[in-house]
Amino acid sequence: MSDTTTTFADLGLPDGLLANLDELGFEAPTPIQAAAIPTLLSGKDLIGRARTGSGKTAAFGLPLLARVAASLQEEPGGDSIRALILAPTRELALQVTDALRQLGEGMGLSMLTVYGGASYTPQLRGLRRGAPIVVGTPGRLLDLLERGALQLGGVRVFVLDEADEMLQMGFIDDVERLLDQTPEGRQVALFSATMPPAIARIAEEKLRDPETVSVDGGRPATDHIAQRWMAVPQQHKAEALWRLLQADPDEATLVFCRTKAGCDEVVETMSRHGVDALALHGDLNQSAREQVLARLRDERVRVVVATDVAARGLDVEHLGHVVNFDLPDNAEVYTHRIGRTGRAGRAGKATTLVASSHWRRFLGMAQHLRADVDEIRPPSDGAIADAQRAALFAAITQDPEEASEFDAARLAVARRWIAEATEDGSMEVAELAALALIRLADVRGVALLADVERALPDWATDRAGPRNLRAGKLDRPNQGGGRERPERPERPQRGGHDHGGPDRGGYDDRGGQRGGYDDRGGQRGGYDDRGGQRGGYDAPSDEGHVELFLPVGENRRVTPADLVGAIASAADIPGRAIGKIRIHDKVSFVAMPEELAQQLLERVEALQIRGMKVAVLRARAPNDNGPRNERPRRGPPPGRGRRRG
């Protein structure tokens, strides 16, 4: 919250910068700006601890511009670098440069951005021309220094932005080498959301009697974000994410995965279920990454799934939700992940999906951060329908006075059209509006009926009572009278897995498997890896369902989402109509209503799954010694190989 008793004019900034701030709509300094700007204008070193999105760029950028402009007046000419700003990623470096250009409009200060993954030629050309302000990433700056293209002997101001990010990315040695190449009398401003020991050591060794500014009073840098967690079996995380996104249909969301392959898989799964999502990771070239970020900033896509490396320094003001699909490595990474939301004083929330095997690690992070984290349950179908209806009504009931000129012109045409359609009295305006609303709801996939199922998915109902972390400690009414313990990790599964479909769990109320394999990996029925029946039949769990057999399984990395997507697209079958899915090593079984199974078998003989053509057959019923399905097969029946010799 801004200090209303302080204005930018009170901070000692020159008139040119004050005019630019007024033009840009800056009304009052944020706490970090009010505290840091006078110190930096005085020439003192500074350590700034403030959360991301708190206005740090202007906090160091405004005094930096003022000092560089003053130094050029004192010593005009020359092509030496007067100010050097280090940023952990190219995205953040570009953002800082863009912000400085806006703040310094009309001051005649040229700036250059240098970063890896781009051609050396324009960066070398820019350095030869001379730029008093250089913003760059440590790796490329050090490379240019070793080539002799970068000279730091004239640096007056050195800014280290997101210092803890530098540490996480392994740049800290490069930062020290660059600092050592600058003159002893230079001013250093170090900004960091957290202060790990390595950063504190640099501050002690490299800064001269620095002034420390901590606008959060030493509290965790994420306490302004509503933090939640959800207990989710690993195999149901995709469904949990889908439900969270559906419950906030218009909110910009950043999802974090550990690996590039994980990002791509989540994007693919969400896309199959109607969620427009894009991946952001290191396999994308610079141009592709910038396009993804541009689409997110312009609100042309609302979900981006990223790795930690790709999302470092990402700054999107309207980002309202961060989801940790995979648990981060440590508390510092967690802090930076969730710090992507709640920018510039806006509200934000973060949700972490926690498998039971990762519970202790997550509890340790919360204890380290002294964070309060509330447990939430996955939104039910009914809650999702409520949210979608609310979003639909908000979209169509916009105040006409707030509409753009284009919308206002179309509004006038629509009113004339309605008047013409109802002037003969055959239809009331209310009836016409209701029909239009129904059609729009159909287009947007919104359920208008109120009797949508309110029950939670099976995997979310295996225990009672919420478990909340208060300052990193488990806080739940202890009904058993003994000491409260975190839930025990799931037993590792050997052999095949019993996967739930997109809206159904594969586990019973106690977390045990409902079919497939027993706790020792032995099969309790169903089919073996060749599709042959072994010791009975695990009937579909829903009455009126039959099972389909597909000769592909975990050996080809098939997931429930792959099967649902292939079936839904091949035969126009809603994903929610598909029942229990069982995936074994080399075969899979999918349960669905009899009429839909017949519809699928009549339309297709093979499905496209992960680039493969996979036959789909009706599974054999209990005690059925006949053929597995109506289609003839060549060679021996499945499960009976040819005898040798």
- Tens-digit pLDDT profile for residues 419-474: 888 888 788 888 888 888 787 777 666 666 655 556 677 777 555 455 677 666 66
Domain 492-631: give its CATH superfamily: RRM (RNA recognition motif) domain (3.30.70.330)
Question: What are phi and psi for residue 583, nearest 5 degrees?
Answer: -115, 120
Q: Which of 350, 299, 282, 376 is nearest to 90 (CA)?
A: 282
Contacts of 459 (CB under 8 A, 6+ apart): 232, 233, 236, 500, 505, 506, 507
At 441, the amino acid letter reads: A
Please identify every stretch of the chain with a pLDDT value under 70, giving residue numbers as ranges: 1-5, 51-53, 78, 216-223, 310, 312-313, 344-345, 398-407, 443-455, 461-467, 470-543, 569, 575-576, 611, 621-645
Beta bridge partners of 423: none
Distance CA 356, CA 418 (A): 56
Radius of gyration of the chain (CA): 30
Helix axes 172-180, 197-206, angle to 10 degrees: 0
DSSP letters along 456-477, please?
PPGGG-SS-S--EEETTEEE--
Q: Which of 39, 91, 30 is nearest to 67 (CA)?
A: 39
Q: Are strands 606-609 and 612-615 parallel, antiparallel or unpaired?
A: antiparallel
Q: Which residues of 307-318 are buried (b: 16+ CB within 10 A; e: fewer)?
A: bbebbbbbbbee
What's 534's DSSP letter?
Answer: -
Q: Which of 63, 51, 57, 73 is nearest to 11 (CA)?
A: 63
CB 103 within 8 A of CB 58: yes
Distances (CA, A) of 17 to 56, 65, 135, 541: 16, 8, 20, 69
- Which residue matches tokens 């440069």? 97
What tokens were used for 96?
């800082």
Give the largest CA-CA distance in the chain: 97
What's 146's DSSP letter?
Answer: H
Architecture of domain 8-214: 3-Layer(aba) Sandwich (3.40)
At 257, the amino acid letter reads: C
Q: For residue 112, what is the enclosing H or E element?
A: strand 111-114
Question: What are phi and psi for residue 399, nearest 5 degrees?
Answer: -60, 120
What tokens were used for 295?
């689409």
Q: Which of 192, 141, 143 is nearest to 164 (CA)?
A: 192
* Dihedral, CA of residue 187, residue 192, residue 195 and residue 197, to nearest 10: -60
Contacts of 361 (CB under 8 A, 6+ apart): 327
User: Strands, E, within 341-425: which ranges?
Assistant: 349-354, 374-375
CB 581 within 8 A of CB 500: yes
Question: What are phi and psi for residue 347, nearest 5 degrees?
Answer: -75, 150
pTM over 0.75: no
The pLDDT value recorded for residue 630 is 40
3-state secondary structure of 322: strand
What tokens were used for 367?
């204890």
Distance CA 265, CA 561 (A): 10
Q: For residue 158, what is the enclosing H or E element?
A: strand 157-160
The pLDDT value recorded for residue 432 is 83
Q: Which of 227, 134, 246 is nearest to 182 (CA)?
A: 134
Distance CA 340, CA 325 (A): 15
Whether CATH 3.40.190.10 fits 226-378: no
Q: Which residue intervals of the chain bear CATH 3.40.50.300?
A: 8-214, 226-378
Distances (CA, A) of 486 to 287, 359, 467, 470, 556: 45, 7, 9, 14, 35
Distance CA 578, CA 571 (A): 12
Q: For residue 226, what is the enclosing H or E element?
A: strand 226-231
Question: What are phi and psi for residue 472, nearest 5 degrees?
Answer: 85, 10
Q: Is the dihedral of CA 405, 253, 504, 620 positive or negative?
A: positive
What tokens were used for 481?
């009278």
Q: Which of 331, 340, 337 is nearest to 366 (CA)?
A: 331
Task: Go through the chain and tell me how many residues it has.
Answer: 645
Q: For residue 362, what is the enclosing H or E element?
A: helix 359-369
Distances (CA, A) of 25 to 8, 14, 16, 279, 458: 12, 17, 14, 33, 51
Burial of residue 406, with CB atoms counted within 10 A of its CB: 0-12 exposed, 13-18 middle, 19 or more buried: exposed
User: Strands, E, within 147-300: which ranges?
Assistant: 157-160, 187-192, 211-214, 226-231, 253-256, 277-280
User: Strands, E, within 584-624: which ranges?
Assistant: 588-593, 606-609, 612-615, 617-618
